[in-house]
Amino acid sequence: MKCLCAGALILVCAIVAGAQAPNHDSKADRSMIIALENAWNQAQIHHDGEALNRLVTDMFVYTDWDGTVLNKAKFISDSKDPATEMSLVANDDVHVYFYPGVAIVTGAYHAKGTSQGKAFDHYGRFTDTWIPSDGQWRCVASHTNLTRKPGAH
């Protein structure tokens, strides 16, 4: 009887764990996350803080190419700053890696525009960490680094 109860308990735990942390390694999830990455780029170009708010979690952490670390509020505030105008934000070489309850996205980016009246043209790499939250994918952390020095061509 004890073995039967233990077996039933293990089965129930496995079912609950599977329901809470499904394996999201599907073409649909991969396409969705890449679409969210592209929506993020458009939100930055258009200073759309509300869109960014929906894309990142409350505990979001952003590490910029210069080593600056921002929380969600500061990240969104900076993205809405009219002193920075983005004319281009584009990703390339994007890969999505799935683990239980998390997706890691790596890729290259090109960002171009002006900040405080000075032109910039950045080429870099990024790593974003996404989790399923309230029925949608949301980013919990993002890290960027430059692959070319500012102003170098």
Q: Locate the domains of the chain by residue range.
A: 24-146
Question: 48-58 pLDDT, tens per residue?
Answer: 999 999 999 99
Q: Which CATH class is domain 24-146?
A: alpha beta
- C-alpha distances in angstroms, 31 versus 37, 107, 112? 10, 14, 25
Which tokens in the block code for residue 131? Answer: 């989790």
Q: How many residues are present in the chain?
A: 153
Which tokens in the block code for residue 80? Answer: 């809405």
Which tokens in the block code for residue 114? Answer: 């002006």
pTM of the model: 0.81
**Whether the Cβ atoms of residue 52 and residue 40 lie closer than 8 Å to each other:** yes
**pLDDT at position 26, please?**
87
**pLDDT at position 3, please?**
41
**pLDDT at position 90, please?**
97
The rounded Cα 124 to chain-centroid distance in angstroms is: 15
pLDDT tens per residue across all 153 residues of the chain: 444 333 333 333 333 333 344 455 689 999 999 999 999 999 999 999 999 999 999 999 999 999 999 999 999 999 999 999 999 999 999 999 999 999 999 999 999 999 999 999 999 999 999 999 989 999 999 999 999 865 555
SS (H, E, C) the chain: CHHHHHHHHHHHHHHHHHHHCCCCCCHHHHHHHHHHHHHHHHHHHCCCHHHHHHHEEEEEEEECCCCCEEEHHHHHHHHCCCCEEEEEEEEEEEEEEEECCEEEEEEEEEEEEEECCEEEEEEEEEEEEEEEECCEEEEEEEEEEECCCCCCC
Which tokens in the block code for residue 115? Answer: 């900040």
**pLDDT at position 152, please?**
54
Long-range contacts of 148-152 (CB under 8 A, 24+ apart): 148/122, 148/123, 148/124, 150/120, 150/121, 150/122, 151/121
